Amino acid sequence: KARFIKLFWVISSLLGSRLRQEDFPPRIVEHPSDVIVSKGEPTTLNCKAEGRPTPTIEWYKDGERVETDKDDPRSHRMLLPSGSLFFLRIVHGRRSKPDEGSYVCVARNYLGEAVSRNASLEVACE
């Protein structure tokens, strides 16, 4: 009986370690939240995802991919290592409102993708 229990423990620990090493598709574990921010101020839209291999994160605003410092080092938007989108300052003018809109983050690896809930970024009126 003790031998059977020991064998069961060895098999279950081997299966457990194998399962932990297997790849799995992305999953959003922290969704962005709506934010109201003043023009010129910094802000962050949070997004965290898990998956194996570690998913890449991209942001979309109103359906268009968001350009970050990874695309242009002079960009006022930075993609943080966690996957969050950091704005050095909110850009907002009379004719151009490049930061105001509806955002989603998309986490991808070779097994698929996960899309966050929408979060709106609104610029406070002065």
Q: Give the confidence band of 2 by pLDDT, cuts at 50, 70, 90.
A: low
Domains of the chain: 23-123 (2.60.40.10)
C-beta of residue 29 within 8 angstroms of C-beta of residue 48: yes
Q: How far is CA 13 from CA 4, 8, 51, 101, in A?
A: 14, 9, 22, 49
DSSP label at residue 71: T
Q: Is the pTM of this model over 0.85?
A: no
Q: Which two tokens stand for residue 117?
A: 């809930």
pLDDT in tens, 28-87: 999 999 999 999 999 999 999 999 999 999 999 999 999 999 999 999 999 999 999 999
Better-predicted residue by pLDDT, 16 or 79: 79
